[in-house]
Amino acid sequence: MQIVKTIEEVRAAVRAWRADGLSVGLVPTMGFLHEGHRSLIERSVADNDRTVVSVFVNPIQFGPSEDLEAYPRDIERDKTVVEGAGGDLIFNPEPSEMYPPHFTTFVDTTETTELLCGARRAGHFRGVCTVVSKLFNIVGPDRAYFGQKDAQQLATVRRFVRDLNFDVEIVACPIVREADGLAKSSRNTYLSTDERKAALILSESLRQGKAAIERGERSAQAVIDVIADSLNKEPLARVDYVEAVDLDNVQRVERIEENTLVAIAVYIGKTRLIDNFIWK
């Protein structure tokens, strides 16, 4: 397993693999890898001859009051995870490698980024789309792997790949959860013991929303109310949003139909966590 810091080194490695006729998968990450990332890497290793994992805390997707400085980093641990999952190369650039002076070109999207996190985190998806486009151009993968936990990110990446004709297959991987139901996230490390217990309300309230649909409820508002009521019972939780949207265009739906994404964002103390489910 190789770890490289420059674009030229990644390109040289990929060129050599391509010369041997090998296929390449890319798993874009911000590091501090957990079981969720591991599942993406393992999927890529199963699908491709070689797997590149990018580890880059992308400054341009953080707002001025967000946790860029505090975001957890541990490249030694990341190396162990990538190696254990069978990855071949980590690309771990400095911000100056990705954003040289006078960097002024961005990939921006509309529609899929209007609601949910896009409405609350100004510039976030512009930062994500820009860095992911750069990674696609740097690595040139056959396939790239994204977690369903960041469902709006996934829909947005799919959209710009289609709109801008990137020649890469986007592969969605299921949410990985702790044994008690909490969705794995690097930000879970911010939670105190009490907050960690309180955070279970995210998966629990989604379970209640899903149960309502299973009982035959099809009104999006009624399902949103079930989830919001459940979240509001937890004193340490502050709801940022509960929404039901179309999985592809991330626009609100009135009825829960096939391909409806039910998504929530909740502050537990100062930590903002997201979770979701897709109805069928």
33 touches ligand PAF (CB under 6 A): no
Rounded to an integer, what is the distance from CA 215 to the centroid of its chain? 30
44 or 153: whose CB is closer to ligand PAF? 153
CA distance 200 to 161: 34
Whether 124 is catalytic = no
148 touches ligand PAF (CB under 6 A): no
CA distance 202 to 92: 32
Question: Are 24 and 145 spatial neighbours (Cβ–Cβ below 8 Å)?
Answer: no
105 or 193: whose CB is closer to ligand PAF? 105
- On whether 134 is known to bind a ligand per the annotation, the reply is no
Beta strands at 24-29 and 89-91: parallel, antiparallel or unpaired? unpaired
118 touches ligand PAF (CB under 6 A): no
Of 150, 195, 240, 275, the one binding ligand PAF (CB under 6 A) is 150
**Least spacing, CB of residue 230 vs ligand PAF, in Å:** 27
112 touches ligand PAF (CB under 6 A): no
58 touches ligand PAF (CB under 6 A): yes
155 touches ligand PAF (CB under 6 A): no
Catalytic site residues?
Answer: 37
Residues of each annotated binding site:
30-37, 61, 147-150, 153, 176, 184-187
Q: Which residues bind ligand PAF (CB under 6 A)?
A: 28-30, 58, 61, 128, 131-132, 150, 153
